[in-house]
Amino acid sequence: MKLSVKTVLGSAAVAATLGFSTFAAHAQVKLGFNIEDPAGSYHTNLTEEFGDLVSEYTNGEVEIVVYPGGQQGNARESIEGMLIGTVDMARSLDTFAPIVRDVEVFGLPYLFASRDQFVKSLELPEVQDVVDRLADEGLIVVGWWENGFRHMTNNERPIVEPSDVDGLKMRTPVSVTRMDMFRMLGANPAPLAFTEVFTALQTGAFDGQENPLQLILDHKLYEVQKYLSLTKHVYNPQIVVMSAIRWNQLSDSQKEAIRRAAGEIGDKYRANGDAQDKEVMAELEGLIEINEVDFAAFQEALKPMYAEFPNQELVNAILSTLE
pLDDT score at 2: 34
DSSP 241: E
Q: What is the pTM of this model?
A: 0.85
pLDDT score at 27: 47
pLDDT score at 259: 98
Which SS3 state, helix, strand or coil, does residue 100 take?
Answer: coil
Q: What is the rounded CA–CA span in Å between residue 175 and residue 96?
A: 9
Q: Which residues of the chain have pLDDT under 70?
A: 1-27
Q: Output Rg (C-alpha) for the chain, integer angstroms.
A: 21
**How far apart, in Å, are the Cα atoms of 275 and each of 58, 110, 148, 271, 284?**
31, 20, 11, 8, 14
Query: Residue 296 carries which side chain, given as an amino acid letter?
Result: A
Q: What is the rounded CA–CA span in Å between residue 201 and residue 206?
A: 5
The residue extents of the domains of the chain are 5-318
Q: Do the Cβ atoms of 246 and 85 come closer than 8 Å? A: yes
pLDDT score at 323: 74
Considering the four listed CATH numbers 3.30.450.20, 3.40.190.170, 3.40.50.300, 1.10.8.60, the one that applies to the domain covering 5-318 is: 3.40.190.170
**What digits encode the pLDDT tens for the residues 242-270?**
999 999 999 999 999 999 999 999 999 99
Q: What is the rounded CA–CA span in Å between residue 266 and residue 239?
A: 10
pLDDT score at 26: 52
**What digits encode the pLDDT tens for the residues 17-67?**
333 333 334 548 999 999 999 999 999 999 999 999 999 999 999 999 999
pLDDT score at 118: 96
- The DSSP secondary structure of 283-321, one letter per residue, reads HHBTTBEEE---HHHHHHHHTTHHHHSS-HHHHHHHHHH
- The DSSP secondary structure of 167-224, one letter per residue, reads T-EEEE-S-HHHHHHHHHTT-EEEE--GGGHHHHHHTTS-SEEEEEHHHHHHTTGGGS
